[in-house]
Amino acid sequence: MKEKITYKDAGVDTKEGERAVSLMKEHVKKTFNENVLTGLGSFGSLFRLDVSGMERPVLVAGSDGVGTKLKIAFLMDKHDTVGQDCVAMCVNDILCQGAKPLFFLDYIATGHVQAERIAEIVKGVADGCLLGQCALVGGETAEMPDFYSPGEYDMAGFAVGVVDQSKMIDGSRIQKGDVVIGIPSSGFHSNGYSLVRKVFFEKMGATVDTYVDELGETLGEALLRPTKIYTGVCMKVLEKAQVNGIVHITGGGFFENIPRILPQGLGVEISLGSWQVPALFKYVASCANIEEEDLFATFNMGIGLIMIVSREETELVMELIRQGGETPCVIGKVVEGKGVSLC
């Protein structure tokens, strides 16, 4: 007689997956609004598109993950913030086109589903969606035995927003003399962690529990701080002012991200010393003797989002950003040339 083999014998526990869904429901539902037409469990997620007041609505989509920052969550066994990172990396990107975020979906893959841990991750996603002013309408949790090391997982997300075509921001209005305004980051966000981990954990032999006097906290606390989401401040500014360009400072730092929106023949001069670089960036630089240009090519250096505006709009935009709870500063200007230079 042949031995009976179940899906659970192969490493997939569907009952635990069902329990995970049950635990995450309360977190997901708090992101719902009147446009969400389906709950968890439907094959597809339905979202009613309200385009009132728009002549030519354009959907804007973005997809991203958290990267090796997840390794910090594994080391700390703390999983309720990386979901916000995932939302931030997607939502902040679509804000750069002037889009209002509508909804978000997540994908979590792990070797074995642990219901409480999955619920913690989704709590972070829901918290991020609330900050991003979008609904968490669905997602997928994939159990993949022998594919991931015990206790590890990966995650990615997908955000959709909408903007009237006449109000899209693509950088084409940027002109010589425009002002570059920086809005602070909350830390490394979700970029540069392969280098950070190599410096702190391999080169220095530190751990997530190592207390750093210069930071006033442990490395783990500093490194796991979630990525800031800029929806609130962007919506406030875009409602009342004209912004010629928005840049999300992600992987590639200043040198790769700013040129993505610049018209041909124009560059940006960044004025060093025009903002206070946070201690975290100074600390990693001193620990690894990283040159200034490499720092700006890898990290956000304390500036998570950039708005490029005309001189005439500068004071209005600065005031609107302050009303949105942020502390902006003028960090540079648009010049004739190419790329980004540090001055």
CA-based nearest residue to 299, from 263, 253, 332, 257: 253
Residue 333 pLDDT class (50, 70, 90 cuts): very high
pLDDT tens digit string along 282-308?
A: 999 988 888 889 999 999 999 999 999
Confidence of residue 1 (pLDDT cuts 50, 70, 90): low
Domain ranges of the chain: 14-167, 179-342
CA distances (Å), 231 to each of 8, 33, 245, in order?
42, 17, 15
Determine the average pLDDT of the residues in 180-192. Answer: 96
Question: In whole angstroms, how far apart are CA 12 and each of 5, 22, 28, 113?
Answer: 12, 17, 24, 8
Cβ count within 10 A of residue 325: 9
Q: Two tokens at 150?
A: 């015990």
Q: Give me the CATH code for the 14-167 domain, please.
A: 3.30.1330.10
Q: What is the DSSP letter of 7?
A: T
pLDDT of 289: 83
> Which residues on adjacent β-strands are paired with residue 269?
333, 341
Average pLDDT value for residue range 78-90: 97
Token pair belonging to 333: 């200007």
Helix axes 82-95, 231-240, angle to 10 degrees: 20
- Residue range 92-117: average pLDDT? 95
Average pLDDT of span 299-326:
96
- 179-342: CATH, from 3.40.50.2300, 3.90.650.10, 3.40.1080.10, 3.40.1180.10: 3.90.650.10
Three-state DSSP state, 93: helix
| pLDDT of 103 strictly over 70 | yes
Position 12 scores a pLDDT of 72
Within this chain, domains 14-167 and 179-342 share the same CATH topology: no
| pLDDT(10) > 70 | no
**What is the pLDDT averaged over residues 99-107?**
97
Q: Residue written as tokens 């530190």?
A: 206
Confidence bin at 339 (pLDDT 50/70/90): very high
Q: Which residues on adjacent β-strands are paired with residue 155?
A: 108
Instruction: Label residue 342 by pLDDT band (50, 70, 90).
Output: very high
* Residue 40 predicted with pLDDT over 90: no
Note whether 65 and 165 are within 8 A (CB). no
DSSP 264-304: TTEEEEE-TTSS---HHHHHHHHHHT--HHHHHHH--TTEE
Which residue type is seen at 186?
S
pLDDT digits (tens, 9 = 90+) for 207-263: 999 999 999 999 999 999 999 999 999 999 999 999 999 999 999 999 999 999 999
Out of 37-51, 85-99, 111-125, give the one with best mean pLDDT.
85-99
Question: pLDDT value at position 63?
Answer: 96
Is residue 109 a contact partner of residue 209, using CB atoms and an 8 Å limit?
A: no
For the sheet containing 339-342, what is the strand order?
A: 245-248, 303-309, 179-184, 329-336, 266-270, 339-342
* String of DSSP letters for 40-61: TT-SS--B----TT-SSEEEEE
How are strands ordered across the β-sheet holding 153-164?
57-65, 153-164, 100-110, 135-143
pTM for this prediction: 0.93
Dihedral through CA 200, CA 204, CA 206, CA 212, nearest 10? -80
pLDDT for residue 82 is more than 60: yes
Comparing C-alpha atoms, which of 75, 102, 77 is closest to residue 87?
A: 102
Whether the per-residue pLDDT at 78 is higher than 60: the answer is yes
Q: What number of CA atoms fall less than 13 Å from residue 272's CA on the CB side?
A: 8
- Cα 158 vs. chain centroid, distance in angstroms? 11
2 pLDDT more than 70: no
Q: What is the pLDDT of residue 111?
A: 92
Closest alpha carbon to 103 in 174, 32, 41, 39: 32
pLDDT class for 9, splitting at 50, 70, 90?
low
